[in-house]
Structures are given as structure tokens and as C-alpha cells.
Structure 1
Amino acid sequence: MIKKVEFIKANIPLEKTDPLQSWYNQWSSQLFVKITNDENIIGWGEILATTANSRDIYIILGQKISRAILNKDEEEICEINDFLFKILETGKGAVSSGVISGIDIALWDLMGKKLGRPIYKLLGYSGKDTPRYIALSRYGNIDSLRKAVGIFIERGFKIIKIHEHYNRAIDAMKELRDIYGYSPKIIVDLSSSIPSLEKAKELFNSISKYEPMWIEEPLRQSDNYKALKKLNEIVPIAGGENIFTINEFKRAIESEAYTYFQIDTTKIGGITEAIKRINLAKLYNVSLSYHHRPDNGWIGISANYHVSVTAHDSFLLETPPDDPFRYFRIEGKIGTDYLQFKGLGLGIQPKEDIPKEEEDQDFVVYQEP
């Protein structure tokens, strides 16, 4: 039985680069969910809150709806997921789906530990090495970006995502190709910044010669699938992290708006919802990529890993470049181009006993006033 649901603010700092990332402070914060059952078995989940300042919104909603699942059987994960979405039927979207995501992931983790199995075993699959790419924060200028990318190329990373505004994306790609050639694969995340299809076409036609692996979420109107399809015919597009219902995901697939359809277990409703999307992707034979904001929240990355091994095609997991072993207990391996989680449940849990005197490295349990 579920006895306790806690929402935990964490402040795991990004690895500082020289030059420093523009979004260092925003991406050095996380929000975890901790669920304890009547046997004192603990499951961990993650909510991909947008910024440190937005975490309280998720926590307030999470505290309210989590009361409705106290004393429920933690093994009835899919029923609990359906129940929570029904409670929030009129408020589907980022916050409600995010809260359900954290609870759902924590329940799967708890179930795996209770039954003595990794989550991928519960889903009926074997664990395997999964390819990864690293995502970098935005940098203040192109020279800083070039230096930062060079640092990670020297470390052996082969696929790197950069976050750029559309006004600077072409110049940034030109600089990276002039300096580092075409061997490293570069992904460009435009963070829904282009205001019109006309401007987007200009950018896509100009940037295509620099061979981005894909361009992520180019348009401000992220659900304009007709326009996205036109752009996708010029340069491959990735998107889907902000699609919060299975029917909308189906509509995006049928529109051929993307080459890579993104799934993020910490945003869309957890592992339970991700499996529905994977099965739909199998039916339509489309390619998947697993999104996670590179904020050092490796619990969500582990959840993405466990569902990714159920996919039918090649795929990539998005991760930060930082070393997770400093802040998490992990059973598995993390290489520059692959990862694997092997322990019970998720195979990862945060180190709650990091000394508090180490600034910005302690976990703080949020307590309701």
C-alpha cells in the first residue's frame, strides 16, 4: 500500500564549463518524487519542471492529487495512472502531466524493487547498451559555444546537441563545421523560436549544407504540423516532448511532421504513457528519440532507458555530459556514447546524504506549511 508521497527539490549543479553556460542556474535544479509503501520500500520518480522557480507549482498540485492515491495498491500502476489523468481531465498539459509522470515513474521503481527486477524485465525485455547523445546549455556567443563544444569533442562525445536562437543558428553551425568538420554529429534545438514558416524555410534551406542531424522544435507554433511537414522535407525535424495526449501524438505521426518523434517520461505521464506511444510508433513504423532536459536529473534518464529498450528501431537518449555517479547511486555503466542501467527498479537513486555544507549539492525535502 502507498503510505507516503514526497516531492523533493534538488539542486544538483551542472558541470561548469569555461566559458560558463548561459542557463547554468536554471538547469541546476531538479524535482523528484519519493514514494514509500507499507513495507518501507522506496520508489523514485522525476518531474521535469521548467525552472527552479516553477517547481512550487508542480509541488502544490502534486501534494493535492497524491492524497487521492494514499493506501492504494502500488502494484496497480496503470489503474493509478488512469485515475490521476481522470482527476485532471479538464486540466491536461505540462503541469498535470508532469506531476503524474513523477508519481508513475516512482511507482514503477518501487514495483521493480519489490519484485526484485529491473523495470525493463517487468516490461518483458532484456537490458542492453543504449546509444546516447549529450545536450549542452545555451552560450552567450558563438565563440563561447565553439570552445564548449570543443571540450566535449575532446572527451570523446560524438553526438552533441546545441541550443540556439534561430537568429544565430546558421552562423553557429558554420563555425562548428569550419573548426571541427563533419565528423561529430550536431543537433540544433531552436526551442520553438521561429515566428513564421517563411523565416523557417529560409533558415532550413541555408543550414542544410551544414548537415545538422536534426533540428528540434523550430516553430513557435509547435502544433502547426502542416508547416512542420514542409520543413521536415528540407532537414529532419525532431519533436513530441510537449505532446501531452496519445491522440495528439497519433495526429503528429499521421501528419508526417517529424522524422524523429520524441518521448520524455518525465513530461508526458510517465513510463505507462510512454509505452502507449512506443506501441503506436511501432504500428506506424516511425523513429523515436528520448528527450530529457540536460539538467542532471538522471532519474528521468533512467526511466527513458527502461522504456527505450522496448522500441523496435534504433534510438538515442538525451543526457547531460556530467558525471552522474557523484550525486546518484547507480547500478550500470555510462560511456561517452552509450549507457545501461542494471539494478532493481530504475537502477538509480539520489544520494540524500551528501553533506549540506557542500553548497548547492544537498537535497531538500519540501514540507507542506
Structure 2
Amino acid sequence: MSIIPISAGIPLTETEPKQKWLEEWSKQLFVKVSIDSEYGWGEVLPAAFNSPALYADIVKRLEPSLNGMEISEPGIIWEKLRKLTFSGGYGPVIGAISGVDIALWDLKAKLSKLYLGDIFGKNEQKIARYASLSRYANYEAVIRASKNIVESGFKAIKLHQTKDDTLESVKRFREEIGYGVDLMVDLNCAMNIDEAIKFANSVQRYELKWVEEPIWPPDDLASLKKINDIVPVAAGENFFDFFKFEDAVHLEALTYYQPDVTKVGGLTPTLKILDLLKKNHEQVAFHNRPHNGWIGIFASIAAARMNGVDALIETPPNGVPSQYFRYNAMITSEVIAPNGVGLSIEPIEPLPQPKDEKILIFHD
């Protein structure tokens, strides 16, 4: 079995006006797992330091431990890798495992000549897409970009503005675009609990679908519960195991749960998390960094289909760039419906490489 981490620099598709974070969101890390002439693809979100190199090194170190294992049993391999790397924490290690696990599932479905989402039987789930925008210089740019996105057909938009201009951006959005479009905001953990409660009370009148990760740390469930009592809260991209999701469900801390298949360990733990959310009738909104990686997006859709849950899918406000990917799917501004084998998508090699790595500490 061969496991190869492949860094890429597929550029973020520019909007009008041009968004910020173009360089930061133009880095990807894919994982290619092959046996003989067959192969599967996975994706890792290199969140820590925005450093693909950090995660790629961990992926390389995983390969020797998989020699002789049955590639048809991703769950057994996941358990071995988790025990092998366990040190009480998660972060980059569980992120690296994510890419390997997704690739193994892709390969398993390809060997079976099935679409991965149908590997446990056909499910026709409602997988609704929304446009997730990068950050803009000011609220005037936010509104111009949002109007263009709405005109292209999107009916749901998420903003990533600072804690200082999010409220004004929301106000202007509702005044100029109206209430016929679902609107969400991601605060990127920028507030303390007092600031977040004040914000929640102020923004309540604008009928947001959710406020995402309003506070630091992002897994402070007791504080998230307080905010969720005022406005719908979404979180989960920074929950790195099943038990944190279980705790959040029991506490009723969230309205929308956001597992990220490229961060939480791949499809194997995601399926367990989805089973928990389905049994408790919780709403699922997969997190995906809205760049042009796309493997994680298709893996999220497959997970929803495999588990039989309706879900929202976070995507960039553009189509799959065909110069970088082969894919088989029906894609509109509202839905993505894969219909190939495996994940129904794979990168076209050779991929463009990222620019010289810059360490990203934190965005507020």
C-alpha cells in the first residue's frame, strides 16, 4: 500500500469585488492511497499554522504501519492509526488521518464499482448547497459581492467578516438584499462571552440562519449554550472526536452541528457522529473551508448519503474548476449530486504548487 501526501496551490476563485485571504485559501493537501494500479483520494484541511507541510509529514509517517492491512476495511485501519498516534490530543494528527481515511473509503468504493454514497444502499437525501464567502475589506464590498452571488442563483450565503463590521454588514445585507436569502455569519472565534451575548441580542432582529463559532475557545459548550438560547448557533469544525459532539447534543448547546470530514478523522468517525445527530434529530451543516479543494465537499456529501441524513454543504461561490479536477456530478447553485464511482471526483495531476509557505497564526 502506498500513501502519498500531495500539496497543491489551486487558487481561490476571485469574486467581484476581490476578496481577502486569497493566498491563505489557495493551499490544499490531498492524500493518494494506492494498491497495485488502483487508488483513492482524500483531503486534509491544514488548519494548524495553515501549513500543509506539517500535515504531510505526519501522513508520510503513517504509511509503514499499514503494510499488510486489508484496504477494504477503512474502519479497522482508522482504529489502528488512532491508537498508534494517540497522545491525548488531536489537531494535526487526526487531520492527517482524515486524508488517509477518506482515500481508503474512495478506494473501497472504486474497487466495488459503486458511488461511495451508495455503498450501504441507495439513499436520496436532500443535500443543499450554500455559498461561503471569504473576508472583504469593508461592508460595501460585502454587499456588492453578495448581490453578485445572489444574481448567480445562490439562495444562502455565509459571511466571514470581523467582529467589528459583521453587525453592520448584516444590517446592510438585509436592507439592500432583503430576507429572501438565508444569511449566516462566521465570527471565527473572535469574541468573548460578554461580547457574543451583546452581539446575539443586537443581531437577532435580522433573522440569521445561524451565528457560527462566536467565541474562543470554540468548544466552550456552556458558553455556546447561552448564546444559542438567543440566536441559532453553529459549531463543530473544531470538535475533534465523537464525544465532544455527544456532549454538545446532551447540553443542547447548538442548533446546527458542523463536522468537518477533513479535520475530524475522515469518514469513519464522521459516520458515527452523523448517526448520533440523526438519532437526536439534530441539524447537520458540514463545514468545509470554502476554497477549491473540493475533495472534502464531495466526501461530506458521500457521508450524508451513506448515513441517510439531510444536510447543508458549505462550498465556495463557484463551480468545480475543471482544469484541476475530473468529476461526475450534477451541480447547480443549490445542490451537488455526484453520480460516478468512489467519491466521483479526483484531482488532475500534476497540480499547481502553493507559494512559499507563510505561517498563519490566527485570524480574528
* Bigger shift: residues 63-72 or 290-299: 63-72
Which residue number corresponds to residue 190 of structure 2?
A: 193
Check the 8 A contact 1:229/1:255 in 2, yes or no: yes
- The amino acid across from 1:101 in the alignment is S
Is residue 48 from structure 1 mapped to residue 45 from structure 2 by the alignment? yes
TM-score (norm: length of structure 1)? 0.92
Match for residue 291 of structure 2 among 292, 295, 298:
295
Query: 1:322 deviation in Å?
Result: 2.1
Match for residue 32 of structure 1 among 8, 30, 33:
30
Match for residue 144 of structure 1 among 141, 159, 183:
141
- The amino acid across from 1:331 in the alignment is N
Match for residue 229 of structure 1 among 225, 228, 236:
225
Check the 8 A contact 2:16/2:148 in 1, yes or no: no
Check the 8 A contact 2:48/2:91 in 1, yes or no: no
Is residue 204 from structure 1 mapped to residue 200 from structure 2 by the alignment? yes
Which residue number corresponds to residue 76 of structure 1?
A: 73
- The amino acid across from 2:71 in the alignment is E
Check the 8 A contact 1:192/1:221 in 2, yes or no: yes
- The amino acid across from 2:256 in the alignment is Y
Which residue number corresponds to residue 116 of structure 1?
A: 113
Q: Secondary structure at the match of 2:136?
A: coil
Query: 1:192 deviation in Å?
Result: 0.6
Question: Where in structure 2 are the equivalents of 1:131-280 lying within 5 Å?
Answer: 131-195=128-192, 197-280=193-276
Check the 8 A contact 1:135/1:320 in 2, yes or no: yes
Q: Distance in 2 between matches of 1:75 and 1:21?
A: 42
Is residue 284 from structure 1 mapped to residue 260 from structure 2 by the alignment? no
- The amino acid across from 2:278 in the alignment is K
Which residue number corresponds to residue 313 of structure 2?
A: 317
Query: 1:323 deviation in Å?
Result: 1.9
Supply the RMSD in Å over aligned alpha carbons.
1.6
* Corresponding residue pairs, total: 353
Query: 1:363 deviation in Å?
Result: 5.5
Query: 1:124 deviation in Å?
Result: 2.6
Cα 1:325/1:19, change in 2 over 3 Å: closer
Query: 1:123 deviation in Å?
Result: 2.7
Cα 1:321/1:109, change in 2 over 3 Å: same
Check the 8 A contact 2:106/2:116 in 1, yes or no: yes
Query: 1:129 deviation in Å?
Result: 5.5
Check the 8 A contact 1:14/1:296 in 2, yes or no: yes
Match for residue 303 of structure 2 among 294, 302, 307:
307
Match for residue 3 of structure 2 among 2, 5, 11:
5
Report Cα offsets for 1:45-81 as digits up to 9, x if no partner.
0001127851111011111122211332211211100
TM-score (norm: length of structure 2)? 0.93
* Bigger shift: residues 133-142 or 51-60: 51-60
Q: Secondary structure at the match of 1:63?
A: helix
Which residue number corresponds to residue 360 of structure 2?
A: none
* Bigger shift: residues 61-70 or 103-112: 61-70
Q: Which runs of 4+ in 1 moved over 6 A?
A: none
Query: 1:127 deviation in Å?
Result: 4.9
- The amino acid across from 1:207 in the alignment is V
Q: Secondary structure at the match of 2:51?
A: helix
- The amino acid across from 1:77 in the alignment is P
Q: What is the percentage of aligned positions where both structures have the same residue?
A: 36
Query: 1:115 deviation in Å?
Result: 1.0
* Bigger shift: residues 135-144 or 311-320: 311-320
Query: 1:21 deviation in Å?
Result: 1.1
Q: Distance in 2 between matches of 1:66 and 1:168?
A: 46
Q: Distance in 2 between matches of 1:55 and 1:336?
A: 29
- The amino acid across from 1:156 in the alignment is G
Is residue 100 from structure 1 mapped to residue 90 from structure 2 by the alignment? no
Cα 1:313/1:36, change in 2 over 3 Å: closer
Check the 8 A contact 1:240/1:261 in 2, yes or no: yes
Query: 1:320 deviation in Å?
Result: 0.8
- The amino acid across from 1:25 in the alignment is E
Cα 1:325/1:22, change in 2 over 3 Å: closer
Q: Distance in 2 between matches of 1:126 and 1:224?
A: 35
